[in-house]
Amino acid sequence: MYKASRFSPLVSVVRHTVITLPTPINISTWWNFGSLLGVCLVIQIFSGLILSLHFTAHTDLSFYVVIQSFGDVYYNWWFRAFHANGASFFFIGLYLHIARGLYYGSYVFKEVWSVGVVILLVVMASAFLGYVLPWGQMSFWGATVITSLFSALPVIGSDVVIWLWGGFSVDNATLTRFFGLHFVLPFMVAGLAGLHLFFLHDQGSSNPLGVSSDYNKVVFHHYYVLKDLVGVCFFLGPLLGLVYFNPWLLGDPENFIEGNPLVTPHHIQPEWYFLFAYAILRAVPNKLGGVVALAAAVLVLFYMPFSPKTSIKGLSFYPGGKSLFFSMIGVFFLLTWAGSKPVEEPYVVISQVLSFLYFAYFILIGPVTRVQDKLL
State the Rg of the chain over Cα: 22
What is the rounded distance in angstroms from the CA atom of residue 333 to the CA atom of residue 243? 24
Predicted pLDDT at 2: 46
* CB 253, CB 70: distance < 8 Å: no
CA 129 to chain centre: 13
Catalytic status, residue 271: yes
Catalytic status, residue 205: yes
Catalytic status, residue 201: yes
Predicted pLDDT at 5: 47
Q: Is 58 a known ligand-binding residue? A: no
Predicted pLDDT at 1: 44
Q: Is 54 a known ligand-binding residue? A: no
Predicted pLDDT at 213: 67
Predicted pLDDT at 310: 82
Predicted pLDDT at 120: 97
Query: 237, 207, 212, 209: which is closest to 224 by C-alpha?
Result: 207
Catalytic status, residue 228: yes
Instruction: Measure the CA angle with vertex 341, ends 284 and 247; round to 5°.
Output: 125
What class has domain 15-251?
mainly alpha
Which residues are 218's β-sheet partners?
23
DSSP string, 28-86: -GGGGHHHHHHHHHHHHHHHHHHHHTT----TTTHHHHHHHHHHHSTTHHHHHHHHHHH
Q: Could you tell me the CA-to-CA distances from 23 to 74, 203, 214, 226, 246 in Å, in that order?
A: 44, 11, 9, 14, 39
DSSP letter for 306, please.
Answer: G
Task: Please name the helix (run of DSSP H) or strand (run of DSSP E) that holds residue 23, with its range, or none.
Answer: strand 22-24
Q: Is 221 a known ligand-binding residue? A: no
Q: Is 182 a known ligand-binding residue? A: yes
Residue by residue, pLDDT tens for the chain (376 residues) are 445 445 577 777 777 777 777 788 888 888 899 999 999 999 999 999 999 999 999 999 999 999 998 888 899 999 999 999 999 999 999 999 999 999 998 899 999 999 999 999 999 999 999 999 999 999 999 999 999 999 999 989 999 999 999 999 999 999 999 999 999 999 999 999 999 998 988 887 778 877 766 677 888 777 888 888 998 999 899 999 999 999 999 988 999 999 999 999 888 899 999 999 999 999 999 999 999 999 999 999 999 999 888 888 888 889 999 999 999 999 999 999 999 999 888 999 999 999 999 999 999 998 898 888 887 6
Catalytic residue among 205, 206, 213, 351: 205
